[in-house]
Amino acid sequence: MKIYQANIVPLNDQVIGTAAHGTALFTVNGGSLTINIEMFDTPANLQHWEHFHGFPDGKPAEIATAAQDVNHDGFVDLPETGAVSGTTMVPFNDAPHEMDIPNDAYPVSDANGYFAYTKVVPLAALSKKFKETFNDSDLELDKRVIYIHGVTDDVTLPETVAGAVGHYSTHVTLPIAVGKITALN
Ligand SMILES: [Cu+2]
């Protein structure tokens, strides 16, 4: 059994008015990957996209900080995270192994901004899909970072904030918390 964890810290908290934080635990046991994510103080009553991000070439991803706000608009948007965190890889939604990123199958926070997410994923299916997408079957979780996204529509985002995906707005994709995944054993 191999266990990974992430301490998830706030991002963009100064401009969105809440400091989202939490933890993630990843347990690889036999043929399955069990994901447990618990988040506090996220924007309330809202669906939150969450994924691990990383570099397909195996370079270790690092968490974005305010330093990644390269256009100095006050927000670290999704494209700005790419320099240190790489690209969106695997979603933590209802079917991570399908690696279908833009959809409405992500967890929804309660009135206190809390949500908990648990999913058992068939590792063979996820590795197969991961290899199809990134030409590498090794998830290399200890080289990835987890992102939580999403602010309510009443948060005013400047036009310089980028990162809309299809019909999903920058409110959906704005990062609100991030954590580096590390191996526990
Ligand atoms: Cu993401």
Neighbours of 132 (CB within 10 A): 10
CA of 147 to the centre of ligand 1 (A): 5
CA of 173 to the centre of ligand 1 (A): 7
What one-character-per-residue DSSP string does 119-141 give?
Answer: EEEEHHHHHHHHHHHHS-----G
Which residues hold their Cβ within 5 A of ligand 1, which is an ion?
A: 51, 88, 147
Tens of pLDDT, residue by residue over 142-163, are 999 999 999 999 999 999 999 9
Tens of pLDDT, residue by residue over 116-150, are 999 999 999 999 999 999 998 899 999 999 999 99
CA of 8 to the centre of ligand 1 (A): 13
Distance between CA 182 and CA 185 in Å, rounded? Answer: 9
Residue tagged 């995270």 (tokens): 81
Enter the pTM of the model: 0.98
CA of 176 to the centre of ligand 1 (A): 10
